Structure 1
Amino acid sequence: MGGRKVADASAAARTAVHDALGQRGFTPAASASGTALFSGVLDPNVLGIPTTIAVDDLDFVAYPRIQIEPGFHMPERTLPHLLGVNRSLCYYGKGSVILDRYDPGGTVLQCLEQAEAVLRDAVAGRSDDDFADEFQAYWGGTFAYVDLPIGHIGPARLCRTTLDRGNRTPLVATTGRSWFMARTERARRRSDAGEPLAVVTVDQPLTFAATEAWPPETLPDLNRWLERAAPGVVGVVEEVLRTRPGTSAAVLIRAPNGLYCFRVKVPLQLRRPEFLEIRRMRLPEVMARQLTPTPIERSVGVRADAEYLFGRNLGRMRNLSGKKILLAGCGTIGGFLAQQLAQCGAGAGKGTLALTDTDILSTGNLGRHLLGVPYLGRNKAEACAAFLKEQLPPLAIEGHACDVRELDLRRESYDLIIDATGEEALSLALNERAVRTRPTTPPHLFVWLVANGAAAQCLLTGEAERACLKCLKPALAGPPRFPVLRDGVEVETMANVSCGDADYVPFPVSRSVAAAALACDLAIDWANGDPGDRFRTILLDVRRALPVPNGNPGPDEACPACRAGA
């Protein structure tokens, strides 16, 4: 019955689209793919542009595709928002408009009207300023990763390197210290030394005139465009050819609207010592006299420096770059927390992310751990470090198969210590040492799950005027200072078959991820200089847990750790 309803709804939507487009004079066209394809005329009273509209997605997650017929002679100018050889019209920016799936007929007419408005503005020259906004699409070519120091201007290298997986060999702009190059010795030998690259900057967004031939395919075409769009860049690639060795040269332009690279290669007939060595200074002039103009290769630059990778998603917030962080426990919470910390920049810059754990990854862990089958039998800290370094090579991450108490935990070694072990005895031991050695010990962030994942809690300590971990429950057998479990709720534990294995508390992986996220948020707030509420709680099962207000509790008079450390 459900399948029939879906089929009926789909048929009704197709009929509505057919009828609506029919009112505009569009008729069904043959389609090899089975797509609903219609032919008609956009703006029939003025422009009269023959067009096809393809309605591939009746949910309207993807906008209908509107293309100008290939045989139609367009105005003698480049039109904005008209992309590709198939002359597909970009009438809505991706995700800018939510189309109404419950009004399929009205929706396709809305798209046609918007397409007509975009074309009218384009033909009249009213949207030529949009060339700058869309310049990446018009520049075309391949992509090049840009891993350069922030604001770097001057000499660099354009290299090809092999990523760890697959056969892709992307271009990388670097000064020689790129994390893309940090491969195994064999991979480094495969990577070439690169070609000379000059990095320049321009103050104005790059664009082009609608009447220009576009895109430039040869060096003379490029220089003619540069003379108007970026005069300061004219002659830069020729200077690189004159002064730096090799059979090619490249320029990367830093512009307000993106990063743009172009490359030239010395023609094969000129790759002789006479031109590459003896007459090197005259090489550009010799190339200019060749019967065939020197072609150029264009690439769009994509930032891949650590600052961009780990700061982009945080907006104006500081990331964890430059911080020395120690994470104790790489189990069900700690594994996910290690990944989140890394994605927030822990280990970037001059910072480090150190992981410790004494446990081995077993099959019983796979249902709620970051790692999977390839890491079975390995130490969790070392395996997590290996996994994260493979995924995020720029980061300094190290794994230690040891008890965290064996490490030097002073401020000179770490800026923040995070305990995600979930082992209360170990957490209390760390807390005791931290309280006793104030202020030479860095702040500690403790994170744990309550009962069977009924709630996640975390606490940032380090200040004498605020609660330590033991302050939350001064007496081991006594009640917690801030009760979170409802009356009568008991913790369910499961016994392992092997007597040497500890009992475990069942809860789904979603609770582990929630606890990790809670701690990561507090770590980010700490890095930004305002931790806010140092004691935080998230309810994950309201049937078993009570709401606990976030806040900054002070020390408890009965706390044995604070008394001993006073």
Structure 2
Amino acid sequence: MMSLADRWRAIAATLANKGFTEQQGASPEFRGSINVHGRAVDIELVIPDSKFVELPIVRLVDRKQLPAGAFGHISRDDIEGSVVCFAPATGLPLDFHDPGGSVLRVLRQTELSLEKSFAGQGGAEVAAEYQEYWIEKEPNFRVLVSRDGTTERQSGLQYAVFKPATGSPFFAIADTISLHDHEATRLSGAVIFHLDAELGPTADRVVPNNFLSLEQWFRAQTTVVADRWRECERALLSGKFVCLAANNCTLGVRIELPANIAMAVRTKKLRSSKLQPLLAKQKTKLDIKRSGGYWTGLAEIAQRNLHGIKTLDGKAIALVGCGTLGSHLAKFLIQSGAGAGAPLTLIDGQVLSAGNIGRHYLGHSRIGERKASALAEELRSFHPQCDIRATVGDALAQKAVLADSDLLVDATGDWNTQYALNELFYEDDISAEAILHCWISGNGAAVQAFLNVRGDDCCFRCLRPSMDAGPRFPALKPGVEANMAPATCGDGNYIPYSVAAPAIAAGLACDMAIGWANDKPGARLRTIVLDHERGIERKPTSPSAHKTCPSCLSRDES
């Protein structure tokens, strides 16, 4: 293996061979030139790490060596010159066993990045990363409302700074400043313009710097954007924070009032009816503040990961069992859109014991609390928009809660409860579209999940019609049993297994719930084997009803 000294010698020798000279600096720094479409462009190459865990920095020495106009892959910084973004979004693999070859790859990648702009793709390249050009020292803001654009301008939007009980304050646009466990200070009203277009640089400016240049920049965009200027102008001059939600970026802009006008507004010496026409006459004197926005609404977080398919947004889900499996599954459901637009109801009557926390989602601080209510509180801290409700008690006694759900999820792993919920699913006043059972077999040897969609022939009891026989689709090899750990003082018997088993079972169940939400439920019974010595590999299947199933026979008779 090359030593640290050998790596630096190889880097220095390679760059010297390319005509680079080493400069003085905290990190090794080299100055030389690269060739961009036949034109020499001087750069500084800073290499902070010879193993390339931290990528080299490429800085232009003289921006004027490049053509005028929009140029992609260049970010402004507070050091003289400009930094070239040479690494693609997927990263740039560099081999520290070949340090010389790696720095040559960095130089070539830099040339390729700049050549795209020389080839007339500068505007497109800047547009692709336009938000980075737009952002200045204003703090980024979060958008906690829907991105679907069905309402062009939602009423009652607020721009505020939110301070959570734990964590750092943040700026956000929300339809309410009453978020769970957050203090809020309203700064202004807000408006979101959903623009079915891309925003980017214009012929004479990359970004606007005052109100007049903002108008010129805005009017130079596509027609679909330019036609909205009057609305945007009215919103800005009335003191609102404006969010421009385009296909390629989310931009925030507000005006900075001149000191004398700001004072007059604060002391109420200037009426709001007079403010807008006064400001309209001072466009060249009005500074603007630019910031970048990020969509962090609960529904948007789920949609980002489930791109192109439906999330669990708007589905009322009742999760029975908040133990090891259920606690992880609740988190996965929330991250998949549950609790947005419809409640996720957690049902469990047990208390979290000290022995639970080794594999439960909840930790030490929650020992002694009711699992359902403690888990609901914990998940609300994940996102302030979560509609999570807790019901402490026997699930079978919570028929009213279950009756209003679109999906019932059984994570109890207890046969008697599983069977009873199966029976309850078929009662007339339960309108749920489906019931999903998930469980762990053996000492985490395998996990299984079964989805019963309303109208299916096979019910949960069909999987084991006779208690004198084993299940029809066992996940354990013959003779393999679950080993119980003996009870100790203050703790009961339990089945030991690693936290991997409930996490995988939760992932399996969550995936099946998403399939159901997209009307593509697929195979109804699925198995994942973790221990191949004890578990049985099974292909996903949709079992047929069993002719001796007592549950089905009872329903047929009635």
TM-score normalised according to structure 2 size: 0.88
Return closer, same or farther for 1:106/1:446 CA change in 2, 3 Å cut-off. Answer: same
Of residues 277, 281, 284 in structure 2, which corresponds to 1:282?
277
Return closer, same or farther for 1:438/1:236 CA change in 2, 3 Å cut-off. Answer: closer
User: Residue in 2 aligned with 1:329?
Assistant: 321
The CA distance in 2 between the partners of 1:365 and 1:554, in whole Å, is 37
User: Residue in 2 aligned with 1:170?
Assistant: 170
User: Residue in 1 aligned with 2:16?
Assistant: 22
The CA distance in 2 between the partners of 1:325 and 1:391, in whole Å, is 18
The CA distance in 2 between the partners of 1:405 and 1:109, in whole Å, is 68
User: Residue in 2 aligned with 1:514?
Assistant: 504
The CA distance in 2 between the partners of 1:563 and 1:201, in whole Å, is 55
Structure 2 counterpart SS, 1:417 = strand
The alignment status of 1:146 with 2:143, answered yes or no, reads yes
Kindly provide the CA deviation profile for residues 392-447 of structure 1, in whole angstroms up to 9, marking residues without a partner as x.
22221111110101111687411121111112222222223335669866532111
The alignment status of 1:91 with 2:83, answered yes or no, reads no
The CA distance in 1 between the partners of 2:516 and 2:246, in whole Å, is 35
Checking the alignment, whether the CA contact within 8 Å between 2:329 and 2:507 is kept in structure 1 is yes
The CA distance in 2 between the partners of 1:418 and 1:202, in whole Å, is 39
Displacement after TM superposition at 1:218 (Å):
1.8
Checking the alignment, whether the CA contact within 8 Å between 1:486 and 1:544 is kept in structure 2 is yes
Checking the alignment, whether the CA contact within 8 Å between 1:20 and 1:105 is kept in structure 2 is yes
Structure 1 counterpart SS, 2:164 = coil
The CA distance in 2 between the partners of 1:338 and 1:52, in whole Å, is 51
Of residues 356, 368, 375 in structure 2, which corresponds to 1:365?
356
Checking the alignment, whether the CA contact within 8 Å between 1:417 and 1:443 is kept in structure 2 is yes
User: Residue in 1 aligned with 2:107?
Assistant: 112
Checking the alignment, whether the CA contact within 8 Å between 2:404 and 2:432 is kept in structure 1 is no
> Which letter does structure 2 place at the counterpart of 1:208?
P
The CA distance in 2 between the partners of 1:382 and 1:40, in whole Å, is 63
Superposition map of 1:367-516 within 5 A: 367-408=358-399, 412-435=403-426, 442-461=433-452, 466-498=457-489, 501-516=491-506
The alignment status of 1:122 with 2:114, answered yes or no, reads no
> Which letter does structure 1 place at the counterpart of 2:322?
C
Kindly provide the CA deviation profile for residues 258-280 of structure 1, in whole angstroms up to 9, marking residues without a partner as x.
22221113222124255434633
Checking the alignment, whether the CA contact within 8 Å between 1:511 and 1:540 is kept in structure 2 is yes
User: Residue in 2 aligned with 1:200?
Assistant: 193
The alignment status of 1:37 with 2:29, answered yes or no, reads yes
Checking the alignment, whether the CA contact within 8 Å between 2:443 and 2:496 is kept in structure 1 is yes
The CA distance in 2 between the partners of 1:207 and 1:165, in whole Å, is 38
Q: Which moved more, 1:257-266 or 1:322-331?
A: 257-266
Checking the alignment, whether the CA contact within 8 Å between 1:275 and 1:283 is kept in structure 2 is no
The CA distance in 2 between the partners of 1:62 and 1:77, in whole Å, is 31
Runs of 5+ unmatched residues, structure 2: none
Return closer, same or farther for 1:219/1:511 CA change in 2, 3 Å cut-off. Answer: same
Structure 1 counterpart SS, 2:436 = strand
The CA distance in 1 between the partners of 2:431 and 2:66, in whole Å, is 74
Return closer, same or farther for 1:539/1:19 CA change in 2, 3 Å cut-off. Answer: same
Checking the alignment, whether the CA contact within 8 Å between 1:16 and 1:105 is kept in structure 2 is yes
The alignment status of 1:132 with 2:122, answered yes or no, reads no
The CA distance in 1 between the partners of 2:455 and 2:280, in whole Å, is 74
Checking the alignment, whether the CA contact within 8 Å between 1:50 and 1:72 is kept in structure 2 is no
> Which letter does structure 1 place at the counterpart of 2:163?
L
The CA distance in 1 between the partners of 2:456 and 2:277, in whole Å, is 74
Checking the alignment, whether the CA contact within 8 Å between 2:202 and 2:220 is kept in structure 1 is no
Displacement after TM superposition at 1:13 (Å):
3.4
User: Residue in 2 aligned with 1:545?
Assistant: 535
The CA distance in 1 between the partners of 2:49 and 2:437, in whole Å, is 48
The alignment status of 1:312 with 2:311, answered yes or no, reads no
Q: Which moved more, 1:468-477 or 1:503-512?
A: 468-477
Return closer, same or farther for 1:97/1:434 CA change in 2, 3 Å cut-off. Answer: same
RMSD: 2.9
User: Residue in 1 aligned with 2:41?
Assistant: 49
User: Residue in 1 aligned with 2:220?
Assistant: 228
Structure 2 counterpart SS, 1:426 = helix
Structure 1 counterpart SS, 2:421 = helix
Checking the alignment, whether the CA contact within 8 Å between 1:76 and 1:211 is kept in structure 2 is no
User: Residue in 2 aligned with 1:561?
Assistant: 551
> Which letter does structure 2 place at the counterpart of 1:199?
I
Return closer, same or farther for 1:348/1:241 CA change in 2, 3 Å cut-off. Answer: closer
Kindly provide the CA deviation profile for residues 278-326 of structure 1, in whole angstroms up to 9, marking residues without a partner as x.
63353124534xxx82211001122233431222211222111111111
Displacement after TM superposition at 1:491 (Å):
2.1
Return closer, same or farther for 1:386/1:415 CA change in 2, 3 Å cut-off. Answer: same
Structure 2 counterpart SS, 1:495 = coil
Return closer, same or farther for 1:157/1:516 CA change in 2, 3 Å cut-off. Answer: closer
Q: Which moved more, 1:134-143 or 1:506-515?
A: 134-143
Displacement after TM superposition at 1:100 (Å):
4.1
> Which letter does structure 2 place at the counterpart of 1:138?
Y
Kindly provide the CA deviation profile for residues 154-204 of structure 1, in whole angstroms up to 9, marking residues without a partner as x.
365442222314574433223x33xx63245xx55x422x42334335454
> Which letter does structure 2 place at the counterpart of 1:362?
S
Displacement after TM superposition at 1:120 (Å):
4.4
Structure 2 counterpart SS, 1:279 = helix
Checking the alignment, whether the CA contact within 8 Å between 2:475 and 2:537 is kept in structure 1 is yes
Checking the alignment, whether the CA contact within 8 Å between 1:462 and 1:468 is kept in structure 2 is no
The alignment status of 1:533 with 2:523, answered yes or no, reads yes
Return closer, same or farther for 1:226/1:92 CA change in 2, 3 Å cut-off. Answer: same
The alignment status of 1:181 with 2:178, answered yes or no, reads yes
The CA distance in 2 between the partners of 1:441 and 1:157, in whole Å, is 34
Checking the alignment, whether the CA contact within 8 Å between 2:143 and 2:297 is kept in structure 1 is yes
Return closer, same or farther for 1:470/1:498 CA change in 2, 3 Å cut-off. Answer: farther
User: Residue in 2 aligned with 1:252?
Assistant: 243
The alignment status of 1:82 with 2:59, answered yes or no, reads no
Structure 1 counterpart SS, 2:103 = helix
Aligned length: 541
Displacement after TM superposition at 1:211 (Å):
4.6
> Which letter does structure 2 place at the counterpart of 1:516?
A
User: Residue in 2 aligned with 1:159?
Assistant: 159
TM-score normalised according to structure 1 size: 0.87
> Which letter does structure 2 place at the counterpart of 1:109?
L
Checking the alignment, whether the CA contact within 8 Å between 1:252 and 1:261 is kept in structure 2 is yes
Return closer, same or farther for 1:449/1:281 CA change in 2, 3 Å cut-off. Answer: closer
Runs of 5+ unmatched residues, structure 1: none
